[in-house]
A = this chain, B = another copy of it.
Amino acid sequence: MESVKLFGTWCSPYSRRVEMALKLKGVEYEYVEEDLKNKSPDLLKYNPVHKKVPLLLHNGKPISESLLILEYIDETWSGPAILPSDPYDRAMARFWAKFLDEKCWPAMIRACMRTGEEQEKANEEANEVLTFLENKLIGKKFFGGDTIGLVDITANLIAHWHRFFEEFSEIMQPPLITKEKFPNICEWVNDYTNCSFVKENLPEKDKLAQLYKARIQAAKAAAQ
């Protein structure tokens, strides 16, 4: 019998990506909640390089790194496609997913965390990366076109987690993402977070808000 086990943490956008992909494909799986302050022997054994969640264990074989797990899930199980079939479209999906993780999200965090003169520059950078995404959505409902794909699942950071960062950093006035500046992104957030399999796999708002509030306060206290 097939065994699928996911090691994750409830608040991680990276773990949630994997849950969304498994749900999209209709794959049954066992979920193991990890305490990152006291990692399980299984996590350390199966992910000795990064020692991080998410970790997918499929018939005893470990796969880590959320974007690589999404590709593995797409190549292993049938059901709605996560990546497009055309090689060029696949390259573009991989490119924008990587862009979200490596360029876009770090720029958004910097904009929410920096103050004074530094913030102006960080804001400019965040606006620049978000403009690329805004333009990717021209004439499209999702980054994947008519259906949700790799880039949409990766962008769950923007759809859900970002608002908590923005709310509790208290320095983002006006907010980074507004209907006036980024109408396509705002519409996408709405369409995406209202898809049933996405909605069911986003962490509860109040719980996430509480966690982010505490984290940001701790970061500020440490910086003083």
Contacts and interface: CB of A to CB of B under 8 A. Distances in A.
Given A61-B88, A72-B91, 10 more contacts: A49-B132, A63-B88, A63-B95, A65-B95, A65-B98, A68-B91, A68-B94, A68-B95, A71-B91, A72-B87
Contacts of A71: 90-91, 94
26 contacts: A49-B99, A49-B103, A49-B132, A58-B88, A61-B88, A63-B88, A63-B91, A63-B95, A64-B95, A65-B95, A65-B98, A68-B91, A68-B94, A68-B95, A68-B98, A69-B91, A71-B90, A71-B91, A71-B94, A72-B87, A72-B88, A72-B90, A72-B91, A75-B87, A75-B90, A76-B87
If over half of A's interface residues share one DSSP class (helix, strand or loop), that class is named, otherwise mixed; here it is helix
A75 B58 CA distance: 25
A66 to B, nearest CB: 12
